[in-house]
Every structure is written in C-alpha cells, then in structure tokens.
Amino acid sequence: MVDNLTAVGEADVLAVAVKPQDAAALLDEIGPKVPADKLVISLCAGLTTGFFNRRLPEGTPVVRVMTNTPALVDQAMSAISAGTHATGEHLALAEEMFTPLGATVRVPESQQDAVTALSGSGPAYFYLLVEAMVDAGILLGLPRQVAHELIVQTAIGSAVMLRDSGEHPVKLREAVTSPAGTTISAIRELENHGVRAAMLAALEAARDRARELAAQSE
C-alpha cells in the first residue's frame, strides 16, 4: 500500500476522501508536500474549500465534490464546486473524472451542504422507503422476495420516467391517481401522517449536521 506522502508525489490529482474529523490531521501531514499547482479534490462532507486552503500551500486549487454511493454502479449524482483558486479548467477536469460514475452538476459552494442533505444522503432515504414498502407488501400477504421485486422495479421505472419525460412529479403522480381510487386513498394516508413534512424536516436536519461537522473540524 502506498503511503500518503508517496501518493502526493506520484498523483496527478489528489482526491481527499476521509471523515471530516480526520481531514485536518491528514492535511497537516501532506500539506507541506503538496505542489501549489496540483489540483486537490475534496469529497469530505461539510468541509469547505477554505478549510483546505488554510492547510495547503498558497494558491493550491481545490474543488469540492459531493457524490453518492450509486457511484458503485455508475449511477452517481456528483455536485462540483470551485474553490478560490480553482479555474474552469480545474472544474472541467473534475467533471471528466466523475462523469464516468454517473451525472455531474456544477453548483456554488454555498449550496454544497444542501446537496449533501439531498443527494449525498439521498440513497438512504430511498432505501428506507423501499424497506417500508416491502414490509407493507408482506403485511398485505405477499412473499418478501415478490414484494422486493415489485418495489425495486417500480422505483427504477418511476425514476426513469422522471428523468426521461421531463414532466413535473406532480403531473406524473396525478396520472396514476384516479378519482375515488386506490392511489388517492393511499396518498391521503401519507399526507395525514405527515410524510411530506417529515421529509422537509429530515433534509433540513441533514443540512444542519453537515454544517456542524464542518464547525467541529476547525
């Protein structure tokens, strides 16, 4: 295994992917050895490019990226932001690196904590929803494997329709919702139990936690 200082010397681009609370110690170790013209990409939740700039040689270009676990199947969503010394060329290089893992989007760094809450942690929300729907299928008498297959394929199909149709999710939902039908009965229960409000509160809490992690790492 290559040690950190050797990696700094050999790498064309440095990608820092550690827990936020471990980043300062790592940068203290490698910072003096990082050439000021070498691109550093941060994948550390909550940590600003300023956090890196204060621990790296003056002028080091830093790009902040928040990706997610679907990168494992080349279906990631990666949000990319430029630090003070990063140029359009640096952003383009980061996009070139992350596009093979899925989709990319450029956002102002001020929006990265919101990105962390929405797409960075987002897969976990979907897994929780799928888990709950599979349990509901079992409650209704379906075998677990059948319920799982039904929900996973429904999730995939719905996501593809959202992406490819360009339609607002409300319009797609309304297309499934008949007057006095089964779908509207289910949606009424979801609304009565505050699912929408819970999602808003959950993402706000995730955003706030990203900010807390940054503050604790200073």
Report the DSSP pairing between strands 76-82 and 102-106.
Answer: parallel
Neighbouring C-alpha atoms within 13 Å toward the C-beta of 38 = 21
Do residues 134 and 103 both lie within one domain? Answer: no
Burial class (CB in 10 A: 0-12, 13-18, 19+), 59: exposed
Burial class (CB in 10 A: 0-12, 13-18, 19+), 198: exposed
Burial class (CB in 10 A: 0-12, 13-18, 19+), 67: buried
Report the mean per-residue pLDDT for the chain: 95
Do residues 141 and 85 both lie within one domain? Answer: no
pLDDT digits (tens, 9 = 90+) for 169-188: 999 999 999 999 999 999 99
What DSSP element (H or E) covers 80?
strand 76-82
* Domain closes at, from 76, 109, 142: 109
Whether the per-residue pLDDT at 1 is higher than 70: the answer is no
Q: Give the range of the structural domain holding residue 127, as residue numbers without chain letter.
A: 122-212
* Domain closes at, from 109, 137, 168: 109
pLDDT digits (tens, 9 = 90+) for 143-167: 999 999 999 999 999 999 999 999 9
Whether the per-residue pLDDT at 110 is higher than 80: the answer is yes
Q: What percent of the chain has pLDDT over 90?
A: 88
Average pLDDT over residues 26-47: 93
Do residues 78 and 155 both lie within one domain? Answer: no
Do residues 95 and 152 both lie within one domain? Answer: no
CA 181 to mean position of chain CA atoms? 36
Do residues 84 and 129 both lie within one domain? Answer: no
